[in-house]
Structure 1
Amino acid sequence: MTPDTTAVTRLLRQWQGGEASALEELTPLVYHELRRIASGFLRRERAEHTLQPTALLHEAYLRLVDQRDRDWKSRAHFYGVAAHLMRLILVDYARSKSRLKRGGDVQRVDWSEALLASTTRPALLTTLDDALCELEKLDPRKGRVVELRYFGGLSLDEAAEVLGISTATVGREQRMAEAWLQRQMTSGPHGA
């Protein structure tokens, strides 16, 4: 563990214990990594996307600070929660842009196409999110792997650290999740 990793974990625990000053010390230590995660989320978006990495980071940070039950296990856990919140923010953003009624304009698409076209065709991101939510119900870990790798932009090693599993297991889970999502996205809603 690097000194920064140790310091972040220590400050997270102090903040969790109610020390408000720990949050002030924590913020500059985690800002760069949270911005990198936000940039990873938006890397696949079109250049003129109205939501920028800094805005996504700030919205997620506000939600992190507002969390009532802060049970931070580690620095990696904190970043995993941040990535999840960023995904939710982007999906909410896409839903507000598309305004399509569920099932009204269903399209069968490749799941990776949905990742790439999430702002030019926001309905695709919401379709992907629906499929990902279904996957999370069936196998929460596979859902988290996809979320961390594709939405959060984490490497195999980083995702393994967040999930507390080996890098090889992350790779296997990712491949299985991709195959499942591909089948869901190309077969239409609920496997129809």
Structure 2
Amino acid sequence: MLLAKWRDGETSAFDELIPLVYPHLREVAAAYVRRERNPDSLQATALVHELYLRLLNQRKAVGDDRRHFYTFCAKVMRMILIDHARENQAQKRGGGGQQVPLSDDLPWVNIGSAELLDLNLALDELAALDPNKVHLVELRYFLGCTAEETAGLMQISKATVDREFRFIRSWLYQRIQPDCVRGAAKV
């Protein structure tokens, strides 16, 4: 209901919506910060506030329902993290900091590293082939949804989410770590 009002241009609906979704978004951001070696470089509150500002700049809701809203939030969170990774790379240029995985399921993609930038490029490539697979990754790893929540938001079964993610994970690994895949093929 609030999304429909916001989409229709009622700015007060956005003001009512944010307190409802803020706890979940803050929890997701806090999970990213906990994985970060240097928590001062990425603060959960700042991450959520950046998301808030980007949502505020939308002026109108994107999509018609909860699913579209969270999918859009996942995309925005992805872009914020990509911007953060680019900024870190510009400052460090491979400065030897400890790498922290984006997710335990994607241990070869580290927050604030070149791999996150490679992941972004691979996701753009995957989006050209199958945008729904990219939505799954965004919901699971950039918005922090569980497999069950992802299934509900995407209106598919949990088994489909699990099966799709196994494929996506393998596909992404081949794109991001091609030398490792070639080396394993030679053994």
Q: TM-score, normalised by structure 2?
A: 0.79
- Aligned-partner Cα distance in 2 for 1:27–1:150: 21
Identify which of structures 1 and 2 has the higher relative contact order when contacts are C-alpha pairs closer than 8 Å and 6+ apart.
1
Q: 1:48 to 1:21 in 2, by over 3 A?
A: closer
Q: Which has the higher strand share?
A: 2
Matches within 5 A, 1:106-117: 112-115=106-109, 117=110
The alignment of Structure 1 onto Structure 2 pairs a total of residues equal to 168
- Aligned-partner Cα distance in 1 for 2:12–2:140: 32
Q: Which residue of 1 aligns with 2:67?
A: 76
Q: Which residue of 2 aligns with 1:118?
A: 111
- Give me the identity figure in percent: 45
Does 2:154 align with 1:172? no
Q: Which residue of 1 aligns with 2:3?
A: 12
Matches within 5 A, 1:80-99: 80-99=71-90
- Aligned-partner Cα distance in 2 for 1:97–1:44: 15
**SS of match in other structure, 2:9:** coil
Q: 1:147 aligns with which of 126, 129, 138?
A: 138
- Ranges in structure 1 where 5+ consecutive residues have no aligned partner: 1-9, 101-109
Letter in 1 for 2:106: S
Q: Is the 8 A contact 1:39 1:53 kept in 2?
A: yes
135-144 or 34-43, which deviates more: 34-43
- Aligned-partner Cα distance in 2 for 1:127–1:70: 30
Does 2:57 align with 1:66? yes
Letter in 2 for 1:118: I
**SS of match in other structure, 1:70:** coil
Q: Which residue of 1 aligns with 2:96?
A: none
Q: TM-score, normalised by structure 1?
A: 0.77
Q: Is the 8 A contact 2:82 2:120 kept in 1?
A: yes
